[in-house]
Structure 1
Amino acid sequence: MRAIQITAIAIGLFMSALAQAHPKLLSSTPTEGEDGATPDRIELHFSESLVTQFSGAKLVMTEMPGMAHSPMPIKAKVSGGSDPKTMLITPLSPLPAGSYRVEWRAVSSDTHPITGNVTFKVK
């Protein structure tokens, strides 16, 4: 009986630790605040494997010379990378000079959504 109680406690502690494992953004390409050439794609690297059907991102232009309304959505394809911890955002056309924000939502096996954003500029 004692062995069953110890096993049940161990399983409970293990499941509790898993439930608290939320994905964190570790890095991005371009990096936060980068000012550079137009990227072919934006890569987001997370600490946990993502559940792609619940994760996603939007790319928006936040500023450019003469821009009357902001933010302006930019058409892009969002997909998982070959690494299950990576999200790829591929603009459908080259990005003109301006400021951009990627608004992301990441869901890992604990199914708890985490949101955030990355900003960058294109010269």
Structure 2
Amino acid sequence: MKKILFMLMCMFICIPTIANAHTELTSSNPKEGQMVTEELDEIVLDFAGSIEELSTMKLMKDGEEVSLSQVQVQDKKMVGSPSAPLENGSYIIDWTIAGEDGHPISGKVSFTVQIKQMQEEKEEAQPKAANKENEQQDKGEVQKENQTSSNSVTTIITVILLVVLCLGVALMFRKKRK
């Protein structure tokens, strides 16, 4: 019985470590929902843990990919450089990484470019742009909620599997004693 209690105690101590094993986005430049008012030379995504070289990012505007001259993975960072100055409008950084644990994780960061030189041309369309910006922010919040829900489901499944495994081991030990 002491062995079973010891095993269960060890399991519950290990669960927080297992549940947080997935790498997540900790910060970005530009930030989610940010309005960029100066030329953007690079896009930087920072993650909680090291990411693999297979990790990628795409920059999207109005459903079309915007060319990045290069995307580099540097330990916990992914850096992309736009090929040309970004035009005013709404953008989405669509990223996919492979974390240290090998699980693929993806997400999106939306932001808006509104550089003053181009702002005069778009003043008439500003109410429409404001509505699009609000829609992009709402989409970003939904995507964050979906990613959090996915992590929660993974954690719950992991806990259930560990409990079942421990109970199976405990039953095996119990049968051997008899």
Q: TM-score range by the shorter chain?
A: 0.7 to 0.9
Give the partner amino acid of 2:47.
F
Unaligned runs of 5+ in 2: 1-9, 115-178
Equivalent in the alignment of 2:66:
74
Counterpart position of 1:26: 26
- Name the structure 2 match of 1:55: 55
Residue 43 of structure 2: aligned partner: 42
Question: Contact 1:38–1:96 (CA<8 Å) still a contact in 2?
Answer: no
RMSD of aligned alpha carbons: 2.1
Deviations 1:25-54 (A, max 9, x none): 0000011111122310110000010111x2
Is the contact made by 1:59 and 1:75 (CA closer than 8 Å) also made in structure 2?
Answer: yes
Q: Which residue of 2 aligns with 1:114?
A: 105
| C-alpha separation in 1, matches of 2:27 and 2:85 | 22
CA separation of 1:109/1:18 partners in 2, compared to 1, >3 Å: closer, same or farther? farther
Question: What secondary structure does 2:93 align onto?
Answer: strand
Give the TM-score, by structure 2 length.
0.52
Name the one with the larger helix percent.
2
CA deviation string 1:43-95 (max 9, x = no partner): 0000010111x211111113xxxxxxxx11111121113xx100001111111
More contact order relative to length (CA 8 Å, sep ≥ 6): 1
How many percent of aligned residue pairs carry the same amino acid?
Answer: 35
Identify, as 1 or 2, the structure richer in strand: 1
Structure 1 portions without partners, runs of 5+:
1-9, 63-70
Q: Which of 1 and 2 has greater Rg?
A: 2
Return the TM-score normalized by structure 1.
Answer: 0.73
Q: CA deviation at 1:118?
A: 0.4
